[in-house]
Amino acid sequence: MKFFNISIIEPTVYDFFKKAIAEIMKQRKEDKSGKHHDFLQLMINAQKKVVDVEETDDKLMDRLRVLYNRCSKQKKNRPILCCPNLLSHLCYLLAINPDSQQKLLDEVLAKSDSKGDIDYETIIRLPYLDACISETLRLYNPAPQTSRVAAKDYQLGDTGITVKKGIHIMIPIHAIHHNPDYYPDPHSFKPERFLPENRDKLVPYTYLPFGAGPRNCVGMRFALMEAKTVMARVITKYEFIRTKTTKVPLQMKKGKIFMTPTDITIGKIPGTA
């Protein structure tokens, strides 16, 4: 939006954070102890190393603003795009795959304490929940593609094709996630693909819901933990069911940057847990 000189953030809010960050940055640059271990310090350290582009404080603040927007809530308390999309698709998949829904419920109940409380330590001990979320992201990744810029000339095996340095490369995530060479029966919901005992069967760089490498999504862990926390609590309270108007398979809207279904309609009834 900077290109059009349009602000999507309340100026007073932006000015508040800008002044606060500027003051912290000033203190950090004067402090040579290197005792800080957070994202801001990583950005400041990276700023010192960049020599081929103009990396100003304003650009650094813009990057922090983008990070804040992605890892917090937008106006009207609506969560970031990834999490509601992920949870909507997961609820849909559980509704049309009741066996998987029961397995997930059994796991959550088995790992919860006697009061039914679910904390961080519980959530990280739920491999089937993690597998369900991973399989959902494989089937319905929010971004169907991503891009990278070649850092150097690279020969693609014996194809005779050389990718030149500086070339922009589009990576078709959706196509990779649905390639039967990597995922047999690719259109079916099979969380077992991502259980710990099966993960070593995955071909490297064929699962890219958040990208890969040093430039993958900075909000990945936050989004996954948010989704797991919500689902671990919801699955014990409601059962998702297929209705007469539930569409199988889902139809996606055309011409959208993110994969957005035309309609997700399922039912819910109080859980029996």
Tell me the binding residues for heme.
217
SS3 for 153-199 is: CEECCCCCCEECCCCEEEECHHHHHCCCCCCCCCCCCCHHHHCCCCH
Structure tokens at 142: 């929010």
DSSP at 241: E
Angle at 124 between CA 120 and CA 128, to 5 degrees: 130
Beta bridge partner(s), residue 261:
252
Token pair, residue 266, equals 């399922």
Residues 6+ apart with CB under 8 A from 92: 240, 246, 250, 264, 266
Ramachandran category for residue 206: left, alpha or beta (phi over 0 → left; psi -120 to 50 → alpha): alpha
Q: What is the DSSP letter of 253?
A: P
For helices 127-139 and 98-111, angle between their N-to-C axes, nearest 10 degrees: 150
Q: Which residues does the annotation place in the binding site?
A: 217
Omega of the bond leading into 79 within 30 degrees of 0 (cis): no
